[in-house]
A and B are shown apart, each in its own frame.
Chain A
Amino acid sequence: MSIRRQLRRPLFVASGAIAASLALAGCVANNAGGGSALTVDITDDTCTVSESTATAGAVTFTLTNSGSDTNEFEILAEDKLRIVGEKENVTPKQNVSYTLHLEPGIYYTACKFQLVGAPIGLAKFTVTGDSVKADDDEQKLIDEAVTNYVSYVKSQTGELVPAVKNFVDAYVAGNDAQARELFASTRVFYERIEPTAEAFGDLDPKIDYREVDAVAEGLDWTGFHRIEKDLWPPAAGELNSDGTSALLDWAPSTPAERAAFGKGLIDDVDQLYTLVYAKKFTVSLADISNGAIGLLDEVATGKISGEEDWWSHTDLTDFAANVQGAEVAFGNVHDLVKSKGATGTKLATKIQKEFDALNALLAKYGSIETGFTPYDEITDAQRKELSDQVNSLAEPLSKLTSTVLGL
Chain B
Amino acid sequence: MSDESESRLSRRGLLGLAGAGAAGLALGASGGAAIATSAEAAGTSGAAESYPFFGRHQSGITTATQDRLHFAAFDLDASSTRQDLRELLSDWSYAASRLTQGLEVTEDGAVGGSPLAPPDDTGEALGLPAAGLTITFGFGPTLFTDDSGVDRFGLADRRPAALAPLPRFSGDALRPESSGGDLCIQACADDPQVAVHAIRNLSRIAFGRAAIRWSQLGFGRTSSTSTSQTTPRNLFGFKDGTANIKAEETKDVAEFVWVADGDGPAWMTDGSYLVARKVRMVIESWDRTRLEEQQRVIGREKGEGAPLSGGTEFTEPNFTKPDDDGSPRIATDAHIRLSHPKANNGARMLRRGYNYVDGNDELGRLDAGLFFLSFQRDPEQFITVQRSLAGHDALNEYIKHVGSAIFAVPPGARRGGSIGDGLFS
Binding site for B on A (CB under 8 A): 286, 341-343, 346, 350, 354, 357, 384-385, 388-389, 391-396, 398-399, 401-403, 405, 407
Q: How far is the CA of A393 from the CA of B207 in the complex (A)?
A: 8
B142 nearest CB across to chain A (Å): 15
Least CB separation from A347: chain B residue? B3
Complex contact A342–B211 (CB within 8 A): no
Q: Which residue of A lies closest to B208 (CB)?
A: A392
Q: Using known A-B contacts A342-B1, A343-B3, A357-B79, determine if residue A391 contacts B117 with beta carbons closer than 8 Å.
A: no
Tell me the bound Cα distance from A403 to B118 in angstroms: 11
Checking B2, B79, B207 against A391 with a beta-carbon cut-off of 8 angstroms, the contacting residue is B207
Are B117 and A398 in contact, CB atoms less than 8 angstroms apart?
yes
Q: In the complex the two chains form, what is the Cα distance from A407 to B116 in whole Å?
A: 7
Interchain CB contact under 8 A, A346 and B77:
no
Flag if B117 contacts A395 (CB, 8 Å): no
Tell me if B116 and A402 are in contact (CB < 8 A).
yes
**Given contacts A342-B3, A343-B3, A395 and B116 within 8 Å (CB-CB):** no
B115 in contact (CB, < 8 A): yes
- Is B204 among interface residues, defined by CB-CB distance under 8 A? yes
Q: Which residues of chain B have a CB within 8 Å of any CB of chain A?
A: 1-3, 77-79, 113-118, 204, 207-209, 211
* Total A-B contacts with CB atoms under 8 angstroms apart: 46
Roughly how many angstroms separate A243 CA and B209 CA in the complex, as a whole number?
Answer: 35
CB proximity of A299 to chain B, nearest CB, Å? 14
Contact indicator A391/B211 (Cβ below 8 Å):
yes
Inter-chain contacts of B113 with A (CB < 8 A) = 402
Structural contact, B208 and A405, CB atoms closer than 8 A: no
Q: From A395, which residue of chain B is reached at the shortest CB distance?
A: B207
Give every chain B residue within 8 A of A401 (Cβ-Cβ): 116-117
A388 touches B116 (CB 8 A): no
Q: Tell me the interface secondary structure of chain A in the complex.
A: helix
Cα of A395 to Cα of B361 in the assembled complex, Å: 34
25 contacts between A and B (CB under 8 A): A341-B2, A342-B1, A342-B2, A343-B2, A346-B2, A350-B208, A354-B208, A385-B78, A388-B77, A392-B77, A392-B207, A392-B208, A392-B209, A392-B211, A393-B208, A394-B207, A396-B208, A398-B118, A399-B118, A401-B116, A401-B117, A402-B113, A402-B114, A402-B117, A407-B114
For A357, list chain B residues within 8 Å (CB). Answer: 79
Nearest B residue to A390, CB-CB: B207
- Chain B nearest Cβ from A298, distance in angstroms: 17
Interchain CA distance A387-B71 in the complex, whole Å: 21
Least CB distance from B113 to A in Å reads: 8
Query: Which residue on A lies nearest to B75, using beta carbons?
Result: A388
Q: Which of B115, B204, B207 touches A407 (beta carbons < 8 Å)? A: B115
CB <8 Å contact, B117 and A399: yes
Residues on the B chain within 8 Å of A385, using CB: 78
C-alpha gap A396/B206 in the complex (Å): 11
Residues of B within 8 A of A393 (CB): 208
3 residue pairs, one from A and one from B, having the closest CB atoms: A402-B117, A392-B208, A342-B2
**A294 to B: closest C-beta gap in Å:** 13
- Identify the closest chain A residue to B176 (Cβ): A381
Known contacts A402-B116, A407-B115; decide if A395 and B208 are in contact (CB<8 Å): yes
CA distance A36 to B22 in the complex (A): 64
Q: How far is the CA of A343 from the CA of B6 in the complex (A)?
A: 10
| Additional A-B contacts beyond A401-B117, A407-B116 (9; CB < 8 A) | A286-B116, A346-B3, A350-B208, A354-B208, A357-B79, A389-B77, A392-B208, A399-B117, A399-B118
How far in angstroms is the closest Cβ of chain B from A356? 10
B-side contacts of A391, CB under 8 Å: 207-208, 211
A394 — nearest CB in chain B belongs to which residue? Answer: B207
Residue of A350, A393, A399 with highest tally of chain B CB at under 10 A: A399
Q: Which residues of A lie under 8 Å from residue B78 when comparing CB positions?
A: 385
Measured between C-beta atoms, what is the minimum distance from B77 to chain A in Å?
6
Complex contacts, B115 vs chain A, CB 8 Å: 407
* A343, closest chain B residue (CB): B3
B77 CB contacts on chain A under 8 angstroms? 388-389, 392
Query: Which residues on the B side are within 8 Å of A399 (C-beta)?
Result: 117-118
Q: Which residues of A contact B114 (CB under 8 A)?
A: 402, 407
Chain B nearest CB from A288 CB (Å) reads: 13
Query: Nearest CB to that of A385 among chain B residues?
Result: B78
What's the nearest-Cβ distance from chain A to residue B71, in Å? Answer: 19
Provide the bound-state CA to CA distance between A402 and B120, in Å: 13
B207–A405 CB distance below 8 A: no
C-alpha gap A391/B117 in the complex (Å)? 16
Within the complex, the shortest CB–CB distance from A244 to chain B, in Å, comes to 19
Q: How far is the CA of A89 from the CA of B208 in the complex (A)?
A: 44
Q: Which residues of A contact B2 (CB under 8 A)?
A: 341-343, 346
B118 nearest in chain A by CB position: A398
A391, A393, A398, A407, most chain B CB atoms within 10 A: A391
A49 to chain B, nearest CB (A): 39
In the complex, chain A residues whose CB is within 8 Å of the CB of B1: 342
A241 vs B82: C-alpha distance when bound (angstroms): 41
Tell whether, in the assembled complex, residue B117 and residue A388 are in contact, meaning their CB atoms are under 8 Å apart: no
A407 to B113, CA, bound (A): 9
Cα A393 to Cα B211 in complex, Å, equals 13
Bound Cα distance A385, B213 (Å): 11
CA distance A402 to B113 in the complex (A): 10
What is the distance, in angstroms, from A360's C-beta to the closest C-beta of chain B? 9
CA distance A343 to B114 in the complex (A): 15
Which B residues are CB-close (under 8 A) to A342?
Answer: 1-3
B148 to chain A, nearest CB (A): 15
CA–CA, A392 and B77, complex, Å = 9
The closest CB in chain B to the CB of A350 belongs to B208
A398 cross-chain contacts in B, Cβ below 8 A: 117-118
- Contact A395 to B204, CB < 8 A, known contacts A402-B114, A407-B114, A407-B116: yes
B3 near A388 with CB under 8 A, answer no
B255 to A: closest C-beta gap in Å: 41
CB distance from B177 to the nearest CB of A (A): 9
Residues from chain B with a CB closer than 8 A to the CB of A396 are 208
Shortest distance from the beta carbon of B285 to any chain A beta carbon, whole Å: 30
B207 contacts across to A, CB distance below 8 A: 391-392, 394-395
Contacts of A405 in B (CB 8 A): 116
- Across the interface, which residues of A come within 8 angstroms of B116, CB to CB? 286, 401-402, 405, 407
CB distance from A375 to the nearest CB of B (A): 20
A395 CA to B204 CA, complexed, in Å: 8
Contacts of A395 in B (CB 8 A): 204, 207-208
Q: Bound state CA distance, A398 and B78, in angstroms?
A: 22
